[in-house]
Structure 1
Amino acid sequence: MKAESVEMDDLDRKLVSALRHDARASLSDLAILLGVSRTTVRGRIERLRDRGDIVGFTVVLKEDAHRDAVRGLMMIGIEGRGAERVIRLLNGLTSVRAIHSTNGRWDLIVELGTETLEDLDEVLGRIRRFEGISASETNLLLATRKAS
């Protein structure tokens, strides 16, 4: 059965936001927070999963959240049609926290996390040598004002 292609509405976005804050929240707690029934919450979660809007749940350990002393965003320009290959290579690096495709000047934005500036420099050098990367720009993250 193919899931329907429908945009998320305001309730879906509020539910996803609540789940990002606490993916273990009970249906009852989510229902109270959102002002809807438990049945509605359960149905919305199932629909979002069936459609592929929610692809999984994860655990973030305290040590994971605090381990990256140095964090950066690397914007990457890719030559031709090499994006999928570059993404596969990036996925193999332990310092890569997230990979985002984007429009505009850059093709990808990669979130990086390392223990030292020297480690970050080494990772940046490795990435810049990937075949298909035509340009890059990196910015260090100094402080996080809000995280999802």
Structure 2
Amino acid sequence: MDDRDKDIIAALRRDSRMGLSELADRLNMSRTTIRTRMERLIARGDILGFTVVLKEDTQQAPVRGHMMLGIEGHGTDRIVHRLSGMPEVQAIHTTNGKWDLILELGASSLEDLDAVLGQIRKIDGVQNSETNLLLATRKTTGMR
């Protein structure tokens, strides 16, 4: 992927609805060049798809947060399995450093989020945790 491909991707991240002609004008490339490069990026798997993020998608769980978990011993797989069954856990990421897992959480109220945090902290093997509320989303790709 060269700088021109990266410019195309950056422009699409800002506005994925932008047509080929507008992309060509903004990036000072021909429409044919843009189309050819986009087709190649899709064929190679660099671009996996295009999406729409609806306002209602973010309102279904208006209280959102990240919870970092420290796991005791070798219980990560068992804990991930348990977390996977909780609807408020929207994503589970393994990581390195101080924390073993980072969870993306969503709930309809602060009280509901607090209840979920309590359930997670009681799971056998969860040694410690830290939670941060997400106040506003400035940018999202809509894909996890």
TM-score by length of 2: 0.69
Indicate the residue corresponding to 1:72 in structure 2. Answer: 65
Between stretches 25-34 and 47-56, larger displacement belongs to 47-56
- Counterparts of residues 1-148 of structure 1 (less than 5 Å): 8-78=1-71, 79-80=73-74, 82=76, 86=80, 90=83, 92-128=85-121, 133-144=126-137, 146-148=138-140
Cα RMSD, aligned residues only: 3.2
Unaligned runs of 5+ in 2: none
For the residues of structure 1 that align with 2:4 and 2:84, how far apart are their CA atoms? Answer: 33
Q: CA deviation at 1:102?
A: 3.4
Q: CA deviation at 1:47?
A: 3.1
Report Cα offsets for 1:92-139 as digits up to 9, x if no partner: 544344444433222332222222012112333444455665443211
CA contact (8 A) 2:67 2:131 kept: yes
Report Cα offsets for 1:42-99 as digits up to 9, x if no partner: 233333333333222222112123443312111233454845972x655554434444
Indicate the residue corresponding to 1:3 in structure 2. Answer: none
CA contact (8 A) 2:79 2:123 kept: no
Instruction: Point out the structure with max Rg over C-alpha.
Output: 2
For the residues of structure 1 that align with 2:108 and 2:126, how far apart are their CA atoms? Answer: 25
Alignment-mate amino acid for residue 3 of structure 2: D
Unaligned runs of 5+ in 1: 1-7
Alignment-mate amino acid for residue 69 of structure 2: I
Distance change (3 Å), C-alpha of 1:58 and 1:82? same
Alignment-mate amino acid for residue 147 of structure 1: K
Alignment-mate amino acid for residue 135 of structure 2: L
Alignment-mate amino acid for residue 119 of structure 1: D
TM-score by length of 1: 0.67
Aligned length: 139
